[in-house]
Amino acid sequence: MRLLSILDPLTRPILLLLVTVVDRVLTPFQRRIGIDKMGYFFVLPNLLIFGIFVLFPMLLNFYYAMTGGTKLFPEDRPFIGLGNFDNLFDCGDFLSPNSCQEDLFWRGIFNTIQFVIFQVSGIVVFSLMTALVLNRKIVARGFFRSVFFYPVLLSPVVVALIWKWVLQHEGVLNAIVEIFGGESTRWLLDPNWALFWVVFVSVWALMGFYTLILLAGLQSIPPELYEASSIDGANNWQDFRFVTMPLLMPTMFVVLVLALIRAVQMFDQIYVLTGGGPGTRTQLLVQYIYTTGFSSQIQLFGLSAAASMVLGITLLILTLLQLRLGNQSSLA
Amino acid sequence: MRKILALLVILTLLISVAPALSQDMVELRIRWYNDGNEGEVLRDLLDSYEMENPGVSIEIDTVPYSAILENLPLDLAAGEGPDMARVTDLGGLAEYYLDMTPYLSDPAYWEDNFGPFLNWKRLPGDMSSIPGFMTQLTITGPFINRTLFEQAGVDVPSDMSDEVTWDEWAAASVAVAEALEIPYPMAMDRSGHRFAGPAISSGAMYFDDMGHPTVMDEGFRDMAERFVNWHLDGTMHPEMWPLSEGYAGANEEFANAELVFYMSGSWQVGQFSEQIGDAFDWQTVPNPCGPGGCTGMPGGAALVGIASTEHPEEVAAVMEYLASQEVLGEFAARTLFIPAHAGLSASGVDFDTDLQLAKDSLGVFVGQVGTLEQTAFDLQAYGNNRTVFNAARDRLTQAMVGELTLDEAIARIQDDIDTALAEQG
């Protein structure tokens, strides 16, 4: 009724009508199935969407991974069991991609591992540092919060194009280097620099989002705890070590899980920035899946589906592991 | 109130009857991409057609070229394709084309004028279907910035000899770049198709005795080695191949006079006419020579009917109109495309440009048709040629950045081709 009182005169009758209609329809239905089962009815639309757009494609992907050939429709594809997985894991030496039949798959895996380690570490460290600074009473705090969050609003393609412009041989960065007497460098052509910049750009683009989450976590820590630790004679480091970190840990785990999942799925930004190059140095597993399944003339959907299953299972294991560690940590 | 209700009822009835009234109107869709102004020219021509045929409406869905390569095949496989499409993977998509023969008023016209190119769009063993026509014939070949040669005081090699080798062009381009501090002596489109011409000129056979595609010969290796080394020593644009995925071109660098020698193809003439005009003297030179000849690659784009169309007769009628000598002649003249039409080749096309540089450039490309090697035609006609091209492009790139040795790269190219073909069955 309080809601109705604040609605304008035009909206109020419409809402009343709607409520009446829903009530007329649902009340007999609720009587028939019982109030306990009404919950299922209300989540049904969401379950249907999940089933059609997530569960069904997953099952389809599973089937495709077990089939060969180049036809699109499942019924036209021969069942080959684990043949695609055999191809993916056919390696002389798992640490040497060149010895593997699907060498690009393994290059994608190694690149993804490196990228994830550096990018997720970078995001956690820099987001935490930024959040700690922004949580203090500094001048123009609101402005800085906006500045750090702004890149999150940009499309990954725009971010990549901006940084491509900065990093190209005749780009802004080399111009600055030359002003200070340095020599211009082909930043994206050197394999190690390319990986560094791919990580740097994605940290720059995403850290604002995680900073915001950590900032919320920091602000939920009761100030009384800091007052108490101050009375006990704790210095800043001890405040951080024994008050901030333990209480921030659940939020940190959220950040870690989200950053990890997003890092493993990274595609568009790198695709535009380096195309996966130089060579395949920054080609991650998702790009391998895309290239194998969609951008080749003879499209190997089965192999691509098998690779995406490997990726999905790895993500699942990592997430479960992190959740378990997170639970242990919060229990401790 | 009753009047309003009555009006609403009438309106509803009219809306429900409208589709029935317009059911004679046929809407056709063309999936199209642009290199230059050809989309505008096509629209003009189709407007004229629609004026003469009020029962037909034709929509052009313009998409990026990558969507033609990557999305269109999926749409066709799913039976969701357009009525017509402009394609470059001519043989690779042949199973989805509409054979328009039963709907054409004069199939012999198509055989007479498009005969040599119809096979490019047919499945192996098919000798008779008429799926569409080439909107343009393309020839790959190099452009040079002649003004830079003059400014550097370096002789243009093709002025002194009819048969210039790749090494001679490389040496001259490097000399120009060094004299004028130009960033890029040479560049080649990031495409296995573009690489194929130089490779065939170096003696690459591309097919074994059984007709199976192969890159395991000295000719291919010779050009591949030269090409990789040119990337390592800075003769070739060092970033274009290693730092791209899929196709990449150096149009911008050439138009900005940052590039001396650009291996691309005839489809660039229209674009360079607009972008560069006569800001500097750009010129097409004959394809460089090697032990296997002085060949580029033929190619081109075709407008084809799609078999899943619900209106095959209307599609064939539109195609007949567009493929007629008069209309195709206007299309070629206004787009500066080389027509793949025997009648137009015989009569010549008065290209719609005042720019002598463009006319000269087109003249050189037309003259190159006679120098193309048979292997180049065979490779272009091969349905799975993009598998060969893409494998060469991607694996040679890995050799450039040291991920593979040259021999490993060539072995991987062969392996990629064999694996894909085996999977296709």
pLDDT at B8: 60
Judgement on whether residues B392 and B331 belong to the same structural domain of the protein: no
Chain segment B37-92, per-residue pLDDT in tens? 999 999 999 999 999 999 999 999 999 988 998 899 999 998 889 999 999 999 98
The answer to whether residues A263 and A115 touch, using CB atoms and an 8 Å cutoff, is: yes
Indicate the residue of B69, B239, B246 with minimum beta-carbon distance to A186: B239
Token pair belonging to B246: 């899929």
Judgement on whether residues B179 and B322 belong to the same structural domain of the protein: no
- Helix/strand/coil percentages in chain B, nearest 5: 50, 15, 35
Specify the amino acid at residue B129. Answer: S
Judgement on whether residues B361 and B316 belong to the same structural domain of the protein: no
How far does B312 lie from chain A, in Å, by closest CA?
24
Range B307-314 average pLDDT: 96
How far does B291 lie from chain A, in Å, by closest CA?
30
Token pair belonging to B222: 């010779």
Here the CATH number for the domain that contains residue B324 is: 3.40.190.10
pLDDT band at B13 (very low <50, low <70, confident <90, very high): low
Rounded-to-integer distance, Cα B25 and Cα B108, Å: 30
**Closest residue of chain A to B418, computed from CA coordinates:** A298
Residue B275 belongs to a domain: yes
Chain segment A209-238, per-residue pLDDT in tens? 999 999 999 999 999 999 999 999 999 999
Q: Give yes or no for residue B142 having a pLDDT over 90.
A: yes
* DSSP-based three-state secondary structure for B145: strand
Q: Which residues in chain A touch residue B398, judged by CB atoms under 8 angstroms apart?
A: 279-280
Final residue in a domain of this structure, among B313, B347, B381: B347
pLDDT at B327: 96
Phi and psi (nearest 5°) for B145?
Answer: -95, 95
Q: Which run of H or of E encompasses B270?
A: helix B268-275
The answer to whether residues B66 and B335 touch, using CB atoms and an 8 Å cutoff, is: no
Phi-psi domain of B203 (left: phi exceeds 0; alpha: psi -120 through 50; beta: other): left
Judgement on whether residues B90 and B133 belong to the same structural domain of the protein: yes
Q: Which residues in chain B touch residue A281, judged by CB atoms under 8 angstroms apart?
A: 401, 403
- Assembly ipTM: 0.82
The answer to whether residues A255 and A210 touch, using CB atoms and an 8 Å cutoff, is: yes
Q: Which residues in chain B touch residue A73, judged by CB atoms under 8 angstroms apart?
A: 77-78
Task: Tell me the average pLDDT of chain B.
Answer: 92
Chain B contact residues (CB < 8 Å to A): 69-70, 73-74, 77-78, 89, 92, 183, 238-239, 242-246, 248, 384, 386-387, 390, 397-398, 400-404, 408, 412, 420-421, 423-425
pTM above 0.80, yes or no: yes
Chain segment B125-134, per-residue pLDDT in tens? 888 999 999 9
Q: How many domains are there within chain B?
A: 2
Q: Which residues touch A108 (CB under 8 Å, ≥6 apart)?
A: A280, A283, A284, A285, A286, A287, A288, A307
Judgement on whether residues B144 and B291 belong to the same structural domain of the protein: yes
Residue B3 belongs to a domain: no
Judgement on whether residues B247 and B166 belong to the same structural domain of the protein: yes
Judgement on whether residues B253 and B293 belong to the same structural domain of the protein: yes
What is the domain extent for residue B188? 139-298+356-424
Three-state SS letters, B204-254: CCCECCCCCECCCCHHHHHHHHHHHHHHHCCCECCCCCCCCCCCCCCHHHH
Token pair belonging to A74: 């499942």
Final residue in a domain of this structure, among B312, B347, B382: B347
Residue B10 belongs to a domain: no
Judgement on whether residues B177 and B115 belong to the same structural domain of the protein: no
How far does B47 lie from chain A, in Å, by closest CA?
34
**Domain A83-331 falls under CATH 1.10.287.110:** no
Judgement on whether residues B265 and B390 belong to the same structural domain of the protein: yes
Rounded-to-integer distance, Cα B293 and Cα B295, Å: 6
Specify the amino acid at residue A235. Answer: N
The answer to whether residues B197 and B296 touch, using CB atoms and an 8 Å cutoff, is: yes
CB contact under 8 A, A98 and B390: no
For chain A, residues with pLDDT lower than 50 are none
Judgement on whether residues B235 and B130 belong to the same structural domain of the protein: no
Strands B298-305 and B84-87: antiparallel
The DSSP symbol for B291 reads T
Rounded-to-integer distance, Cα A96 and Cα A321, Å: 27
Instruction: List the Cα angle A264/A266/A268 in 5-degree steps.
Output: 165
Chain A contact residues (CB < 8 Å to B): 68-73, 98, 103, 107, 168-170, 186, 188-189, 191, 271, 274-281, 287, 291, 294-300
Final residue in a domain of this structure, among B315, B347, B379: B347
Judgement on whether residues B383 and B251 belong to the same structural domain of the protein: yes
Judgement on whether residues B37 and B184 belong to the same structural domain of the protein: no
Dihedral sign computed on CA atoms, order B73, B78, B82, B83? positive
Cα A168 to chain centroid distance, Å, stands at 27
